[in-house]
Structure 1
Amino acid sequence: MTLWTAEEAAAATGGRAQGDWTATGVSIDTRTIRAGDLFVALKDARDGHDFVAQALDKGAAAALVSRVPQGVSPTAPLLIVPDVLAALESLGRAGRRRMAGKVIAITGSVGKTSTKDMARAALTGQGRIHAAEASYNNHWGVPLTLARMPRHTDFAIIEIGMNHPGEIAPLSRLARPHVAMITTVAAAHLEAFGAIEGIAREKGAIFQGLEPIGHAIIPEDLPVTQILRDCADEAGALVMGFGRDGQAKLVQAKPDNGALKCRARIGGETVDFTLHTTGAHFAMNAVGVLAALAAAGADVKEAGQRLGDWLPPKGRGAVEDLAGLRLIDDAYNANPTSLSAGLATLAGLQGGRRVAILGDMLELGADEIAMHRAMADDPAMAQVDLVHSAGPRMRHLHDALPPARRGAWAENAAELAARAADLVRPGDIVLVKGSKSSKISTVVDALRKTAQTPVSETKE
């Protein structure tokens, strides 16, 4: 299916097209590029222009460039523009403009990607769906998602993230959502904002891009909920709150053999659904998803049935059974809110000894030491039998724990990973969590390797 012709892409970007090509996709990575893709030569750690020849050799339809790269024929199929990133934004803007379906944008301090994936699963069967890949939620990820969007899309799900003030509003204006959802507001990237109120205002900026009479889906019962409501009101949005209270309400989340049997009330309608996870925070986000899909005109009961097809992505709270262990791989990211949720998941699982293996939580600002130390008093921590930790910040949690709960501490995750076999024993339930840059995921890899047992050969 044709996504962009040379003429359309040139008109969208104001660039000069060489050759009469058609693109069936858009790519920024020669490792995953497919024949027929338009290769976008972005500059990041490496200059994408260095890979244009390779992209064309792999069958790229053309390349979006700001110059003819060395080693590439001057007559090669190219789209030449003054600035590649600005051209990608223009291509994304044009992709959004020609799409007549509904756009749902999702942001939040925790759970953006899993919530986006929930929404995609829940919409299955209700039309043609386009959603962001992985965590493509930044200044190039959002326009790339829009540029990849087929023109006949019925529902688009756009993930929007930030690290610093002023990033969300421009991306939301680019996406022009009909519905914008905030999963939660927590102390993530706090060092760039100074206070949780600043994070709330930045998250609330997603409503600035809403289409007229757009819908704002916000979490109830947060200390900063009123700030989010104010942001929605300033944008003229229709507001629906979700949580334990609100128009979208979680009525029940009952553990059932490694799953959660849930019931919600969405705008007066009862919806039953099952989630194949034990994390109660996922149930809350699922209620937000159902509220967002209802606002976008989807069948909410059908969406509830489809939620059972969703599984937590790798590193974001998925529970897996290894040989002799039950592992909660939540090693993708961490802040006090998400760590509290992870500990609650661990505490809620029945079985053997509960063990937490934790890496530093990063980008928390001036109060990071106090935040790490305070996790010793988290309500779920009373149900955890042993805590191993790595990193200078986690040392403060280690010291704050009672001796009976205090496991190993190491300078870094690599040291813990090297000792993985000694950290756990058969029958344990193990949570591994930390910020991505703490590299605590190396412990997950080591645990998986430790749990592998040779298969005995049998002879007939």
Structure 2
Amino acid sequence: MKQTSVNILKYILKRLAILTIRRFEPEVIAITGSVGKTSAKEAIFAVLKDHFRIRAASESFNNELGVPLAILGNWKAIGRPLIFFWLKVVLISFLRLILLPKRFYPKMLILEYGAQKPGDIKYLLEIGSPKIGVITAIGKIPVHVEYYEDIAAVAKEKTRLIENLTTSNFAILNFDDELAAAMAEKTRAKTMTFGFGEGANMRITNFENRSEDGRPYGISFKLEYEGSFVPVVLVGVFGEAHAYAGAIAALIGIIYGLNLVESAEYFSAHYRPAKRRMNLTAGVKETYIIDDSYNASPLSMEKALKVLKDLKGGRKIAVLGDMLELGRYSIEAHEGIGKIVAETADILVAIGPRGKFISEGAKNKGMHGSKILNFDTAEEAAKTVEQIIRKGDVILVKASRAMELDKVVEEIKSV
């Protein structure tokens, strides 16, 4: 679509979304952060869906087009051809605005607010101001920092989500993330924190990436709130991000009148992790794939490599590609990941122009050159990865979405 057409569409969708919020008056739970937004959204939905009429945005609808789309209807994906899809959205949204009885619209909306560039959060807040604002994490080198002056500017943009909350609203902050935790001073809302650190309102303890009988299994952890503990086990997913998501959801469950046990039970029963976010997939040759190919930032890459290190099995193979939109921090970030790989993986398969810096970091940290393979694209790497893997290997696949490392997963997964 031409930019003029996109701007016109954005204006129309924004107006329709604002009018929809005004007419139906849903409570908005808005989530922002450099990582973990979609997992948090799915976790909150899992805890609340049996208790309220609620809608969670499909896909990662978190920008100037996606957020209005989530408000206007339960659209699962953007259809083709684009012109007919958007015409249908506008027409149906207009008719709903006029004809739909208020009782049929969701009481709550769970929305992701992305901050790819300065001004994005302000734009989205003009559409829907939340009752609850969630900051998942910022990280030392956040994603999209390429479009900001510096890391502090990224944090400042995300802080906008909670700056104008009132004393009757809630700000849910990551206790373990220094920049996120500091945002408590920037809001009048009731502040609640989650994390592993002692002092978090919802504390995660006894976390483990579990293997059983030498095979990757899932995760287990406990949630602690005001002296009470409850255990949680999730099968087929890995990483602290899912524990963070559960802690966020449990806090919001408590805000809406559930107790800790109820929140944890609904989370365990109904949580459906989004695809390609630390999911376990069966690989060919009786291998185990940890599919985290949806996206990547330095923080999420570090966490994923920790999972690879923790899991029992055969050889550890890291198939890693570029982390995009890091600007002047890119070389430093990729080399830093390479150093972690050298202490984590038996084999590194690096993909993309920035992937070469991962290789350099690994080599400089002592990883032998014979254990490092470099490729320009996912297509080139896929066949070689299929050839080198063997029974019992645990394979982590991760990069920014544009690198298309899902193609590697498709090549090596068991049919």
**Which residue of structure 2 lines up, in the alignment, with residue 174 of structure 1?**
127
Where in structure 1 are there 5+ consecutive unaligned residues? 1-42, 49-81, 453-460
Residue 171 of structure 1 aligns to a residue whose secondary structure is helix
Cα gap change, 1:241 to 1:338, in 2 (>3 Å): same
* 2:205 paired residue among 240, 251, 257: 251
Q: Find the partner of 1:285 among 220, 228, 245.
A: 245
Name the structure 2 match of 1:261. 220
Candidates 136, 154, 158, aligned match of 2:107: 154
Residue matched to 1:230 = 185
Which of 322, 327, 351 is 1:365 aligned to? 327
Counterpart amino acid of 1:132? A
* 182-191 or 94-103, which deviates more: 94-103
CA–CA distance in 2 between the matches of 1:194 and 1:297? Answer: 41
CA RMSD in angstroms, aligned pairs only: 2.4
Residue 299 (structure 1) shift: 4.6
Change (3 A) 1:429 1:191: same
The correspondence of residues 295-374 of structure 1 with structure 2, limited to 5 A, is 295-308=255-268, 309-323=270-284, 324-374=286-336
Provide Cα deviations, 1:392-429, integer angstroms capped at 9, x if missing partner.
21112212323437321112222102323223222111
The residue number in structure 2 matching 1:27 is none
Say if 1:141 and 1:212 are closer, same or farther in 2 by CA, change over 3 A. farther
- Picking from 229, 232, 255, the partner of 1:273 is 232
Please report how far the alpha carbon of residue 361 of structure 1 lies from its aligned counterpart in structure 2 after TM superposition.
Answer: 0.8
Q: 2-side partners of 1:305 and 1:96: how far apart?
A: 31
CA deviations on 1:267-291 (whole Å, 9 max, x unpaired) are: 5543433223221232123212222
Confirm whether residue 240 of structure 1 aligns to residue 192 of structure 2: yes
Q: Letter of the 1:422 partner, please give it.
A: Q
Query: In 2 relative to 1, CA 45–100 (structure 1 residues): closer, same or farther, beyond 3 Å?
Result: closer
Letter in 2 for 1:214: N
- The structure-2 alpha-carbon separation of the partners of 1:210 and 1:142, relative to structure 1 and needing over 3 Å to count, comes to farther
Matched residues in 1 for 2:396 and 2:225: separation?
A: 32
In the TM superposition, what are the counterparts of 1:11-160 in structure 2 within 5 Å? 43=1, 83-148=8-73, 151-152=102-103, 153-160=106-113
> Partner amino acid for 2:170?
H
User: What SS is found at the alignment partner of 1:289?
Assistant: helix
Change (3 A) 1:270 1:155: farther
Q: 1:93·1:147 contact (CA, 8 Å) conserved in 2?
A: no
- Counterpart contact for 2:232–2:264, Cα < 8 Å: yes
Question: Does the alignment pair 1:218 with 2:218?
Answer: no
Distance 1:398-1:83 versus aligned 2 partners, 3 A rule: closer
Partner AA of 2:219 in structure 1? L
**Paired residues for 1:381-396 under 5 Å:** 381-396=342-357
Deviates more, 1:136-145 or 1:436-445: 436-445
Contact map agreement 1:104 1:296 (CA 8 A) in 2: no
Deviations 1:17-43 (A, max 9, x none): xxxxxxxxxxxxxxxxxxxxxxxxxx5
Match of 2:94 in 1: none
Gaps of 5+ in 2: 75-99
Task: Evaluate the alpha carbon distance shift between residue 438 and residue 255 of structure 1 in structure 2; reply closer, same or farther with a 3 A threshold.
Answer: closer
CA offsets 1:186-245 (integer angstroms, 9 cap, x no match): 3201111132211111111111453552100111132323542233x2xx2111121123
Secondary structure, counterpart of 1:419 in structure 2:
helix
TM-score, normalisation: structure 2: 0.82
Structure 1 equivalent of residue 412 of structure 2: 447
Aligned to 2:77: none
Relative to structure 1, is the Cα distance of residues 249 and 226 closer, same or farther in structure 2, using a 3 angstrom cutoff?
closer
Count of residue pairs brought into register by the alignment: 371
Cα drift, residue 44 of structure 1 = 6.0
One-letter amino acid matched to 1:375: I
1:294 matched to 2:248: no
* Counterpart contact for 1:278–1:348, Cα < 8 Å: no
Higher RCO (CA 8 Å, separation ≥ 6 residues): 2
Once residues 343 and 22 of structure 2 are traced to their aligned partners in structure 1, the CA distance between those partners, rounded to angstroms, is: 52
Q: Percent identity?
A: 28
Alpha-carbon distance in structure 1 between the residues aligned to 2:404 and 2:4? 23
1:192 aligns with 2:147: yes
Structure 1 pair 387/84, CA: closer, same or farther in 2 (3 Å)? Answer: closer
Calculate the TM-score normalised by the size of structure 1.
Answer: 0.75
Alignment partners' CA distance in 1, 2:41 and 2:397: 23
